[in-house]
Structure 1
Amino acid sequence: MKLLFLVDAMLGNIARKLQIFGYDSEYKSNIDDLELIKKAKNEQRIIISKDRELIIKAKKQGIISVHITKENEIEQFLEILEQISLELDAVSGDRARCTKCNSLTSQIDKSNISDKIPQKVSEFNDKFWKCNNCDQIYWEGTHIKKMQEFLEKIKLGRRA
């Protein structure tokens, strides 16, 4: 089963990290509980929220939901992993989704985008990806290293 997530307004960073790990994770900031539940049900999405009341309502509707109680992002991810089996092997641009619109990305040749990226970025990077929807361009910058470190902390937390 392909996992699809719907993340509420309080957890935007979690949605973006799930996208970087390659998971379809919609983030909604201006949506009421009933609309969010309806969307999750129609699209078979798992709700992730800090809102206890929302989680209770969603579960009554038969929607898989994860109630986040921690403040630290590592601990929040561990809460998700306690309830849902996610594959978090490595951070890869080939699997990542667009963090602006949640769409898939495709690898693109540097020569096709040289006019759209800073010269220094072009000099130090060889692999680039472009969002299939909004045309946002991505490369393996320092954020990938930070995400790898984040992943290692999650793995350490799972062993504890």
Structure 2
Amino acid sequence: MKKLAILTISDSRSLETDESGKLITALAKQNDLMVIKRVIVPDDIVDIQTAYLQLEQQGPDIIITNGGTGIARRDVTIQAIRPLLLKTISGFGEAFRQISFEEIGTRALASQALAGFNYRYQLTYCLPGSKNACQTALTKLIIPEYGHLLFESSTKRKEVHHHAH
């Protein structure tokens, strides 16, 4: 069973009022993902990076952040997480915006949703804070594909490791 950590970025939510975090947890459990940790931090680059790196240390296979992916001045999730990623999966953001465009129109274009692998080859997804956006991303993109992405990255990792000797 793959392990998942959830990082909610919000100035106003608590674990009780974090509907998106609860939704991600529920969808994860329905799909054989074990949620090992759920954390909330404010919209602050250092707070986000600190929490992300602490989650990374817990050894999840997947880290999902939600919130702070828009273009408002307070939205700093992408600036915080992108430097911590070794590789980004541009197709994820493209597909997410395309699906969102069909659901909410041109407002989808402001989403900077992102996916990639960090330096520990943990699969990371940065999702918007809205419940609908999280539902869409999980059901249409993340759940159908995460197994394949993790498999691909583990074969790559062995090759890289092998060449190092």
Q: Which TM-score applies when normalising by structure 2?
A: 0.40
Q: Say which one has the larger Rg.
A: 1
Is the strand fraction higher in 1 or 2? 2
| TM-score with structure 1 setting the length | 0.41
Instruction: Kindly indicate whether structure 1 or structure 2 has the higher relative contact order, using CA contacts under 8 Å at least 6 residues apart.
Output: 2
> Which is richer in helix?
2
